[in-house]
Structure 1
Amino acid sequence: MLTPKEIALLAAKALDSKKGLDIKVLETGHLTTLADYFVLCSATSTTQIKALADVCEKELKDAGEPPHHVEGHRGGIWILLDFSSVVVHIFNEEAREFYDLERLWSDATPVDLSGVLTEN
């Protein structure tokens, strides 16, 4: 069984493997009971959003952590994968800018992803 931080980092790595954009991991456990971590990622198309969600779900399922709930597969502008202690948000760029979760959760602690994400 993985820790919430390990789940968040594995999700970030999976998203990076499919060229997810502007990947961020925010530690939110000290602010809310919703989740210990939020993982945020942007994509350039609905096809990429779905591919990112699929790879994230597969990698975590293979690690013994399947999502408890998935929202947004039909809409294609924002898919949410709920792993209980970790919530992964995959947006198109316009939706990410509009909802601006980074601003909403500005008191969250950013997690250092150096060594997790590949250099571009």
Structure 2
Amino acid sequence: MESLQLATAIAKVLDKKKASDVKVLKVRDLTVLTDYFVIATGTSSTHVKSLAEEVEFQLGEQGVKPLRTEGYDSKNWILLDFGTVIVHVFYPEARSFYDLEHLWADAEPVDVKFEEDETDAQ
């Protein structure tokens, strides 16, 4: 799966599972770590965990597994590393504290059309 396609698919899974403030940032030109960050917020530690698990499950169904995962124990910030896409699922206070959007302010935001966006357009 191509990296933009993967990032978009992940963002849509997170949105469908009711994550808030889902963002995709293109960081390819800023770092050698990855091509895209997908950042989302859960409403509780349980929601954060279920969001990350849903991403793993949905992509696993397509044969795509993360290379590494971090943060399942704390459930404040779960990171899923898919190589070309790194997913950050935050508890609200952790997202505010780490403020990745500010840290990576030079990243190019990617406009993802979510299901409600598509139905609103009709």
Do the structures match in fold with TM over 0.5?
yes
Following superposition of structure 1 onto structure 2, how do residues 9-28 of structure 1 map, counting pairs within 5 Å? Answer: 9-28=8-27
SS at match of 2:63: coil
Structural RMSD (CA): 1.3
Superposed displacement of residue 84, structure 1:
0.5
CA distance in 2, matches of 1:95, 1:106: 18
- Structure 1 runs (4+) greater than 2 angstroms displaced: 116-120
Structure having the larger proportion of residues in helix: 2
Count of residue correspondences: 118
Whichever residue aligns with residue 25 of structure 1, its letter is V
Q: Normalising to structure 2: TM-score of the pair?
A: 0.93
TM-score by length of 1: 0.94
8 Å CA contact 1:12–1:117 kept in 2: the answer is no
Which amino acid is 1:18 matched to?
Answer: K
For structure 1, the residue ranges without an aligned partner over 5 or more in a row are none
Unaligned runs of 5+ in 2: none
- % identical aligned pairs: 47
- Other-structure match for 1:40: 39
- For residues 1-120 of structure 1, the aligned pairs below 5 Å read 2-114=1-113, 116-119=114-117
The structure whose Rg is larger is 2
